[in-house]
Amino acid sequence: MNDLLRRALLDADLTETELARHLDVDPKTVKRWIAGRVPYPRYRAKVAVLLATDETTLWPRADRPRSFPEPPTAEILTAYPHRWAVPRHVWQHLFESAEREIGILVYSGLFIAEDAGLLQTITRKARSGARARILLGDPEGPRVLERGTDEGVGDSLPAKIRNALVLYRPLLGIEGIDLRLHDTVLYNSIYRADDDLLINPHAYGVPAAQAPVLHIRKSEPDDMASTYQDSFERAWSSARPFDDAGR
């Protein structure tokens, strides 16, 4: 327990949540600091300025040499051996928990498009103010054809995408829901609800449903979750819109 930090917060009349907001970190991160974890130097300096004190006062032994640098914190909540092993209620809870953002980056993601309950949840969250962005593979794109060949399924992947597009069509035109087609090499399928993500890493020659899934949560800038969020944004920016006329 870092009583020095806790007392400095009280003296500065700042709550843990207020300090987290000033630093743009999750309040859980501040709780960890108070529990005894030593922040990275850049955060120690900012905290010291905000609390009008010195770093060495708050963390007297922070400069002791370490054998290895401490990596950014990443909250890995669960690991599933296969995508098919992820229970349906996990998908439901993921999208249900979204308040600001839903993101889906896949080639077909047909298992979601075929689930009327999940589509209803996405629709309801969009109507409540959350932004929903869906990225499917371009069925005419060379990357999709290559993936179908790699997985040994031939032309079935473009067909799955076209089926998914038909099922997503009722969502088009709903404010807050956008659908685009991408032609990128998809290293991971990404399913996002705010700062919670289900990541489905792809393996050569293995269908996505057979590959593992990691449930991760963003806890601070530049952590593992941020990497996948940035990847989603790059794929989105290079994709082309799909409209309700099927173009």
HSE value, Cβ hemisphere, 13 Å, CA-based, for 11? 12
- Model pTM? 0.69
Confidence of residue 64 (pLDDT cuts 50, 70, 90): low
Predicted confidence (pLDDT) at residue 73 exceeds the cutoff of 70: no
Tokens 């998914």 belong to which residue? Answer: 164
Rounded Cα distance between 68 and 28, Å, is 24
Q: What is the tens place of the pLDDT at every residue in 147-157?
A: 877 776 667 88
Asked if residue 98 lies in contact with residue 129, where contact means CB atoms within 8 angstroms, the answer is: no
CA distances from 33 to 38, 200, 218, 224 (A): 6, 31, 17, 19
User: Domain 75-241 falls in which CATH fold?
Assistant: Endonuclease; Chain A (3.30.870)
Kindly list the domain boundaries of the chain, sorted by start residue.
3-58, 75-241
Q: What is 3-58's CATH number, 2.30.29, 1.10.260, 2.60.420, 1.10.3470?
A: 1.10.260
For residue 154, the model assigns a pLDDT of 65
Selection from 32-36, 74-78, 227-231 with the highest mean pLDDT? 227-231
Q: What is the tens place of the pLDDT at every residue in 201-227?
A: 988 888 889 999 999 988 777 788 899
Confidence of residue 63 (pLDDT cuts 50, 70, 90): low
Residue-level length of the chain: 247
